[in-house]
Chain A
Amino acid sequence: MDFADWIGRAQAFLAAKPPALLAGLGGVVILLGVASAITAVLPLLKPGKSFEELRLRIASWWGMVALLAGALLLGWQATTAVFAFISFLALREFLSLAVRRREDRPAILAAYGCLIAAYGFIVADRYMFYIVFIPVWVFLGLPALMALIGQTRGYLASAATFHWGLVTCVYNLGVVAFLMRVPDSEPLPAGAAGLVFFLLLATEFNDVAQYCWGKLVGRHKILPKVSPNKTWEGFIGGWITTAALIWFLGPVFTPLSGLGLAIVAFVLPAAGFAGDVTMSAIKRDIGVKDTSHAIPGHGGVLDRADSLTFTAPLYFHLLALFGLQKF
Chain B
Amino acid sequence: MRLLRFLLLVLVARPLAVLMTGADVSGRERLPLKGPAIIAANHASHVDTLLMLAVFPSRAVSKLRPAAAADYFLRDPVIGWFSRHVIGIVPVARGKAADGEDVLAPARAALAAGEIVLIFPEGTRGDGESDEMGQLKSGVARLAEAFPQAPVIPVWIQGAGRVLPKGASVPVPLNCAVLVGEPVVWTGRRGGFMDALRAAMLALKAQAPPLRWSEEP
Contact = CB atoms under 8 A, between A and B. Distances in A.
Nearest to B159: A96
A108 B210 contact: no
Interface stretch (A64-72, A97-105, A247-255, A313-321): A97-105
A97 B208 CA distance: 12
Interface residues of B, number: 19
Interface in A88-133: 88-89, 92-93, 95-102, 105, 108-109, 112
A293 B55 CA distance: 14
A158 B217 contact: yes
A100 to B, nearest CB: 5
A249 B173 CA distance: 40
B59 interface: no
Given A101-B217, A105-B168, A112 B212 contact: no
Contacts of B162: 96, 102, 105
Interface string A211-248: 00000000000000000000000000000000000000
A40 interface: no
A92 B22 CA distance: 9
Interface in A265-314: 286-288, 292-294
A286 B174 contact: no
Contacts of B145: none
B128 interface: yes
Contacts of B165: 102, 105
A153 interface: yes
Contacts of A92: 22, 173-175
Interface in B200-217: 209-210, 212-213, 215, 217
B76 to A, nearest CB: 27
Interface in B1-56: 22, 24, 26
B170 interface: yes
B172 interface: yes
B210 A157 contact: no
A108 B172 contact: yes
Contacts of B212: 97-100, 286
A78 B175 CA distance: 25
A101 B24 CA distance: 22
A153 B217 CA distance: 7
Contacts of B215: 100
Contacts of B209: 96-97, 288, 292
Nearest to B212: A100
B174 A96 contact: yes
Contacts of B128: 102
Contacts of A150: none
B24 A109 contact: no
A153 B213 CA distance: 13
A140 to B, nearest CB: 22
A132 B94 CA distance: 55
A164 to B, nearest CB: 15
A100 B217 contact: yes
A154 interface: yes
A193 to B, nearest CB: 27
Between B162, B165, B174, B175, the greatest number of chain A beta carbons within 10 A of the residue's beta carbon is seen for B175
Between A92, A93, A96, A112, the greatest number of chain B beta carbons within 10 A of the residue's beta carbon is seen for A96
A296 to B, nearest CB: 11
Nearest to A108: B172
Contacts of A97: 175, 209-210, 212
Nearest to A89: B22
Interface in A32-87: none
Nearest to B164: A105
Given A105-B168, A109-B172, A112-B173, A294 B24 contact: yes
Given A96-B209, A100-B213, A109-B172, 5 more contacts: A92-B22, A93-B175, A105-B165, A286-B210, A288-B210
Please list the 5 inter-chain residue pairs (A to B) with the smallest Cβ-Cβ separation, ordered nearest first. Answer: A154-B217, A96-B175, A100-B217, A96-B174, A100-B212
Interface of A: 88-89, 92-93, 95-102, 105, 108-109, 112, 153-154, 157-158, 286-288, 292-294
5 contacts: A97-B209, A99-B212, A100-B213, A102-B213, A286-B212
